[in-house]
Amino acid sequence: KNEVEQSPQNLTAQEGEFITINCSYSVGISALHWLQQHPGGGIVSLFMLSSGKKKHGRLIATINIQEKHSSLHITASHPRDSAVYICAVARSNDYKLSFGAGTTVTVRA
């Protein structure tokens, strides 16, 4: 079983809809990262969380350390939000990160 599990694997939404992507992990972590990868593109860091909630524009990320769970929300989704969203965890006392398989989001106009 992977240390980091994301759901759903794929998601299609209509423009304007609220989107939620979930990430569950099974190890102790020092931080959790949300990353975005557009088709054929590079990978950019959206958020890094160790507790609570962060907001950037229409994106909101939350983490519950006790539950070992994080969510990424996209409010008022737009076709330009179509991308793969990847959850990654930085394990405690480790140099390395573990990655989820990614969630492919498609937003239709």
Partner 1 sequence: NAGVTQTPKFRVLKTGQSMTLLCAQDMNHEYMYWYRQDPGMGLRLIHYSVGEGTTAKGEVPDGYNVSRLKKQNFLLGLESAAPSQTSVYFCASRRPTWNSPLHFGNGTRLTVT
Kindly report the three-state secondary structure assignment for every residue of 3-54.
Answer: CEEEECCEEEEECCCCEEEEEEECCCEEEEEEEEECCCCCEEEEEEECCEEE
The CA-atom distances, in angstroms, between 92 and each of 27, 28, 43, 50, 95 are 8, 6, 23, 11, 8
Task: Name which of 5, 36, 26, 29 is nearest 105 in CA terms.
Answer: 36
Beta carbon nearer to partner 1, 74 or 86: 86
Size of the site for partner 1 (CB under 8 A): 23
Select 53 or 78, whichever has its Cβ closest to partner 1: 53
- Does residue 31 bind partner 1 (CB under 8 A)? yes
How far apart are CB 47 and partner 1 at their closest, in Å? 9
The token pair at 56 is 């950037």
Interaction between residue 48 and partner 1 (CB under 8 A):
yes
Stretch of 14-22, 55-63, 74-82, 93-101 contacting partner 1, by CB under 8 A: 93-101
Question: Does residue 89 touch partner 1 according to CB under 8 A?
Answer: no
Positions that interact with partner 1 (CB under 8 A): 2, 4, 30-31, 33, 35, 41-45, 48, 50, 86, 88, 90, 95-97, 99-102
